[in-house]
Structure 1
Amino acid sequence: MGPSASTAISTPHTGGLRHSLAEDVYAFLIGCSLIVMGILCLHKAGLVTGGMAGIALLLSYVLPLSPGLLFTLINIPFLAFALKAMSPNFAVRTMIASMGVTAFGGLMPRVITVSEINPLFSALFAGTIIGLGILCLARHQAGVGGTGIVTLWLQKSRGINAGRVQIAIDVVILTVSAFFLPKDKIVLSLVSAVSTSGILIVYHRPGRYIGH
C-alpha cells in the first residue's frame, strides 16, 4: 500500500502541533455529543440518517434485534479492518468514540427533550452538527466506526474525499429506506445526509489547515 494509511493517519501533526490528552478527551466529548444530539433531532422528525445508524435501522426491520445492538455488532468487522489497515491507535480511538456515542445516546435523553422540531430544519441542522461531530473526531484520529472507517481510509490511502464517498454510501442506504418510509421523509433524509457529508467535503481536506 506504499505509504500506508496507518502511517498517514498516525502522524497528522508534527512537533508542537500534536494534540494533548486533554485536547483529545475534550474533542471526543464534543464530537460524540454533537453526533447524538443530531440523531435525537432526526429521530424526532421521523427521518433516517446515513452511515452505520442507517444500516442498523434498516436491518432492524428484518431482524429481531434493536438498532443499538445491530450498530455494535456491525461495527466489529469494521474495527478489525481499522486495526489491520490503518493503525492500532486509530482502531482504539474509534472504539472509544463508538462507546462514547453509545454512552451519550443513553445519557442525552435524560438531560434534554426534543418536543417538536420542523423536519426541514432538523434535516439541515442535525445533518450539519453530525458532520461537525464526525469532523471533530476525525481531526483527533478517530471515527465513529462502520462506513466512517472506510471513508477515512480511502481518503488517507487513495486521496478520495471522505465526504464524497460518504454521500455515495448514504444514497444507497436511503434508496433502500424508500421501501419503508414515505417519499417526503426520504427526501429530507437525503438533505440531512448531504448536510453531513458537506461538512467533510469542505473542511476535512488534508493540507488546507494547520495541524490537519
Structure 2
Amino acid sequence: MSDVTFMEEKKKTEHRWFEDAMALLMGTSLVSFGVLFLKHAGLLTGGTAGLSLLLHYKYGIAFGIVFFLINLPFYYLAIRRMGLAFTIKTFTAVFLVSTFSSLHDKFITIQDLNPLYAAIFGGFIFGVGFIILFRHKASLGGFNILALYLQDRFSIKAGWLLMGVDITIMLISLSIVSTYQLILSIFCGLVLNLIIALNHRQDRYTV
C-alpha cells in the first residue's frame, strides 16, 4: 500500500466531532451504569472511581460529587502530557459520569442485586464503556494521568504505581466492606481488564 493510499484510508477512518460526542455519551452512560451496580452491591473498583466509592460508603457523600472533585488536580498534568483535545474530552467524560451516576437512581430501582452478578456484569459494562472512550481518545482521568507523568519525569513504572494505588484502596476498604465483597471487587476488576486487554489493541486499529 502506498503512502498516499494509507493516508487516504486513515483519513476515512478518523472520527468526526459528532461521532466523538456520541461515543462520550454512550461510554460514560455505560460506565456510570456499572457504578450503579457496584454501589448497590457494596463493591469497589480501582483508581479514582474506587476512591470515590470508598468515600461514598464511609461518609455518605454522593459518588458523582466526589468523583468530579478528585479528578480536578489531574487536568493540569493531562494538558502537559496528553494535549488540550484529550483533556477536554476527559473532563467532559468525567463530568458526564459524575452527572449520570446521580441520575440513574431516579429512573431505575434495584431492589435485589446478587453481588456476584453485579461483579460480573459490572465488569462487562465497565469494560465496554472504557473501550468506547479509549477508541475516541478520551479517558476518565485520575491516577492514570499521574502515573504516566511520573513515568516520563522520574522513570517510575506507571503499571507498578497504579497497582500500588489500587492495592492501597482495596486494603483501606477492608474497614468498610466484607472480605467477600473485596474478593468480588477484585474479580470485577479482572473481568474489566480482561475485556480491555482482549478488545483494545493498538495494532488492530489505525486511529
Aligned to 2:64: 68
Checking the alignment, whether the CA contact within 8 Å between 2:56 and 2:62 is kept in structure 1 is yes
Aligned to 1:119: 115
Residues 30 and 129 (structure 1 numbering): CA distance in 2 closer, same or farther, change over 3 Å?
same
Paired residues for 1:98-113 under 5 Å: 98-113=94-109
Q: Which of the pair has more CA radius of gyration?
A: 2
Once residues 60 and 178 of structure 2 are traced to their aligned partners in structure 1, the CA distance between those partners, rounded to angstroms, is 23
Aligned to 1:211: 206
Give the counterpart of 2:125 among 129, 145, 153: 129
Once residues 79 and 183 of structure 2 are traced to their aligned partners in structure 1, the CA distance between those partners, rounded to angstroms, is 36
Amino acid at match of 1:196: L
Q: Which has the larger displacement, 91-100 or 57-66?
A: 57-66
**Cα distance, 1:171 vs structure 2:** 3.0
Once residues 133 and 85 of structure 2 are traced to their aligned partners in structure 1, the CA distance between those partners, rounded to angstroms, is 13
Aligned to 1:31: 27
Q: Which has the larger displacement, 136-145 or 44-53?
A: 44-53
Identity %: 34
Once residues 59 and 41 of structure 2 are traced to their aligned partners in structure 1, the CA distance between those partners, rounded to angstroms, is 24
1:128-180 superposed Cα distances (whole Å, 9 cap, x missing partner):
21121111111101111212435677999x9x898x97566433321221222
1:10-67 superposed Cα distances (whole Å, 9 cap, x missing partner):
xxx9311100122112111110111011111111112122221211233457779554
Paired residues for 1:1-212 under 5 Å: 14-59=10-55, 66-150=62-146, 169-207=165-203, 209-212=204-207
Higher share of residues assigned helix: 2
Once residues 92 and 146 of structure 2 are traced to their aligned partners in structure 1, the CA distance between those partners, rounded to angstroms, is 17
Checking the alignment, whether the CA contact within 8 Å between 1:45 and 1:118 is kept in structure 2 is yes
Checking the alignment, whether the CA contact within 8 Å between 1:27 and 1:140 is kept in structure 2 is yes
Residues 144 and 181 (structure 1 numbering): CA distance in 2 closer, same or farther, change over 3 Å?
same
Secondary structure of 1:15's match? Answer: helix
RMSD (Å), alpha carbons: 3.0
Secondary structure of 1:14's match? Answer: helix
1:108-135 superposed Cα distances (whole Å, 9 cap, x missing partner):
2222222222111110110121121111
Secondary structure of 2:125's match? Answer: helix
Once residues 59 and 110 of structure 2 are traced to their aligned partners in structure 1, the CA distance between those partners, rounded to angstroms, is 28
Amino acid at match of 1:70: V
**Cα distance, 1:77 vs structure 2:** 1.4
Once residues 199 and 167 of structure 1 are traced to their aligned partners in structure 2, the CA distance between those partners, rounded to angstroms, is 18
Once residues 22 and 68 of structure 1 are traced to their aligned partners in structure 2, the CA distance between those partners, rounded to angstroms, is 25
Residues 36 and 126 (structure 1 numbering): CA distance in 2 closer, same or farther, change over 3 Å?
same
Once residues 168 and 201 of structure 1 are traced to their aligned partners in structure 2, the CA distance between those partners, rounded to angstroms, is 20
Residues 47 and 60 (structure 1 numbering): CA distance in 2 closer, same or farther, change over 3 Å?
closer
Secondary structure of 2:202's match? Answer: coil
**Cα distance, 1:203 vs structure 2:** 2.0
Checking the alignment, whether the CA contact within 8 Å between 1:75 and 1:146 is kept in structure 2 is yes
Structure 1: which 5+ residue stretches go unaligned? Answer: 1-12
Taking structure 2 as the reference length, the TM-score comes to 0.81
Aligned length in residues = 197
